[in-house]
Structure 1
C-alpha cells in the first residue's frame, strides 16, 4: 500500500479495525513506556530474592532446623541473637505479562487522559523494559515465549501488533509452577469467572500480581440526569432517568466487588494493586515492581485523588 494512502474501514470486520488501530498506537505506547521507566529507574537494581548465589543479601535470625554452617558468627557476636547470612538469588526468573484485551478496556471518560487499554499496555511494556535490564526472562502468553534480551519490550510490542488473544485472562497451558504472572485488567467480567480463573492459575503454582485498572468515572460514578449506559461487551443498553440516584448503590457495590477480588488474591498469596487512569503510570509500575521484589503489600486497595 502506498504511503499516505487511506482505506475505508466502514465495512471491515471489527477485529481488523481494532488490529489496525492498535498497530498505529503501539509505537507511541512503547515510547511512553520508556518515558515512564526513565522517571523511576534511577537507583533501581534487579529483583533481590533469597537463594543460591555469591552476593550478600541480608542477615536474619536463626531458627531451628536450618543449616548451622550458614550462621554468621561475627554478626551474631554483636548481641545475644544468632544470625544467618542470606545470599541473593541470581538465576533469571520467568515473568509472564498480560494486558486484558477486552472491549471494556477501550473505555475513556472525559476525566481520564488515556483509555484503560492504553494504560495497561504502557504498564506491561514499561515492566518488560525494567525486568529486561535485570536479566529476567519475560514472555507474553500466546504471543511470545519467554526471552532474556535487552530489547524485550520492543519485541513484545512488535509481537502484539500481529497477534493478541481475545480472552481477558491469559491461556494457562504455558504457565508453569514457580513462574510469576502480572495481569493488568479492569476485572469487569463476572466475579465468579474471575475467581475461577485466578484459582486455576494458583493451582498450577503460578504466583500472580493483579493490577486492577479503572477509569475515574467507573469508580466515582459522576453521571446525573437522563443517561444511557451501554455494555461494550454485549451491546446491551440501560437508560436511567435520574442517574444520580444510582450513585450510592453503585459505588458501594463496585468497592465491595473490588475488595472481594483483592481479598481472594491475598488468600492465594497473590498481590493486588488498584490503579486509576487519572494517576501516573509510574505509580502502578513502582508498586508492581515492589511486589515482584517481595515488598510487603499494604492491605486493601486504595484509590487516590487525581494528581495536581
Structure 2
C-alpha cells in the first residue's frame, strides 16, 4: 500500500500548477442555479418516475400490484427514469484575434471564452454529462479528472493563425456542440462546420464573443488599425468616415451567423467581454436544452 504522505505529495504536485482558470470557472458556475439537466424519459434507472396504466403486452412482472390494488379494475406499471448521459463537445477559438482587449480592465476575448467554456463544462459534468474539446480531439468524458484535462487544454491552448477555423474533431454523431469565437474572419469555415454538423445530427450553440469597442467603433481622426497577429494593417486619417460601413458589415455578419444557426438547428447569441458572464452562461445552459 502506498504511504499516505507520498499520495498527498503527488496530489499537491498535480494541483499546484493548475491555473486560476478553474477557480474562476467554478465561481461563475456557482452563480448559475440550473434545473434538472438531461432528458427525462422511460428506461433503465434507479429513480421512480411515474405510474401508468398497464397496456396489452406488458409482462406480469412489470405490474405494481400494491398500486393496482388501490384502483378499481385497473392495473398500473411502475416506471423508472432514464437520465441518459449525453455528449457535449466544445470548440474554443484560440486564434490571435481572440487575444484582443480594448481596456486593461477588460478580459481578452479569449480569456472570457475560456472561462465561459470551462464553467459550462463544470455545470454539465456535475450534471452527469460527458464533455470533450474538439480543438485537441479530447473525447467526451465525465468526472472531475475530465475537468482537469479541459482546464489544462484551455489554459495552454493557442493557435498561431489570425482567425481559427471551427472543427468537430472527435465529436460523436447526434451529440451537441458549442462554438465560442469572435467569428470575425472568413465565415466559410463556420458554414462548413455547421452544415457538416447538421449532416451528422449534431446540434448546438454559437457564441460570438466581442469586445465593446468592436461594437461601438469609437475611432475618429488619424488611426492605425492592425490585427493582433500583425498580418493586416490599415492607416486612415478619417476613421470616423469608416464607422457606418464597419457597423453595417458587423450587422451583416451577425445576420449571417444567426441565419446559419437557424438553418442548421443551432442557437446563436453575442457575448460582450464587458457584460455579465453569468447571463451568457445561463443562456448557453438553457440553449443546449432547446437544441436537443
Under TM normalisation by the shorter chain, which class is it? 0.7 to 0.9
Unaligned ranges ≥5, structure 1: 1-24, 58-66, 70-85, 297-308
How far residue 116 of structure 1 moved from its aligned partner, in angstroms, is 0.2
**Distance in 1, Cα, partners of 2:40 & 2:141:** 23
**Distance in 2, Cα, partners of 1:295 & 1:170:** 19
TM-score, scaled relative to structure 2: 0.75
**Relative to structure 1, is the Cα distance of residues 274 and 112 closer, same or farther in structure 2, using a 3 angstrom cutoff?**
farther
Aligned length: 246
**Relative to structure 1, is the Cα distance of residues 162 and 252 closer, same or farther in structure 2, using a 3 angstrom cutoff?**
closer
Q: Which residue of 1 aligns with 2:254?
A: 258
Would the aligned equivalents of 2:209 and 2:270 in 1 still touch at CA under 8 Å? yes
Classify the secondary structure of the residue corresponding to 2:128: coil
How far residue 234 of structure 1 moved from its aligned partner, in angstroms, is 5.4
**Relative to structure 1, is the Cα distance of residues 257 and 131 closer, same or farther in structure 2, using a 3 angstrom cutoff?**
same
Residues 137-216 of structure 1 aligned to structure 2 (within 5 Å): 137-141=130-134, 142-161=136-155, 168-216=164-212
Q: 1:197-240: CA deviations, max 9, x gaps? A: 22122222211211111001111101111000012345221011
Q: Which residue of 1 aligns with 2:117?
A: 124
**Relative to structure 1, is the Cα distance of residues 218 and 242 closer, same or farther in structure 2, using a 3 angstrom cutoff?**
same
**Relative to structure 1, is the Cα distance of residues 89 and 272 closer, same or farther in structure 2, using a 3 angstrom cutoff?**
farther
**Relative to structure 1, is the Cα distance of residues 267 and 68 closer, same or farther in structure 2, using a 3 angstrom cutoff?**
farther
Higher percent of residues as strand: 2
Q: 1:4-39: CA deviations, max 9, x gaps? A: xxxxxxxxxxxxxxxxxxxxx971222211111121
* Residue 282 (str. 1) matches residue 274 (str. 2): no
Identify which of 24, 27, 51 aligns with 2:41.
51
TM-score, scaled relative to structure 1: 0.71
**Distance in 2, Cα, partners of 1:68 & 1:165:** 60
**Relative to structure 1, is the Cα distance of residues 182 and 211 closer, same or farther in structure 2, using a 3 angstrom cutoff?**
same
Classify the secondary structure of the residue corresponding to 1:158: helix
Residues 62-81 of structure 1 aligned to structure 2 (within 5 Å): none
**Relative to structure 1, is the Cα distance of residues 153 and 50 closer, same or farther in structure 2, using a 3 angstrom cutoff?**
same
Highest CA radius of gyration, 1 or 2? 2
Classify the secondary structure of the residue corresponding to 2:235: strand
**Relative to structure 1, is the Cα distance of residues 150 and 258 closer, same or farther in structure 2, using a 3 angstrom cutoff?**
same
Unaligned ranges ≥5, structure 2: 1-16, 58-78
* Residue 115 (str. 1) matches residue 108 (str. 2): yes
How far residue 170 of structure 1 moved from its aligned partner, in angstroms, is 4.5
Would the aligned equivalents of 1:178 and 1:206 in 2 still touch at CA under 8 Å? yes
Would the aligned equivalents of 1:55 and 1:87 in 2 still touch at CA under 8 Å? yes
**Distance in 1, Cα, partners of 2:137 & 2:176:** 16
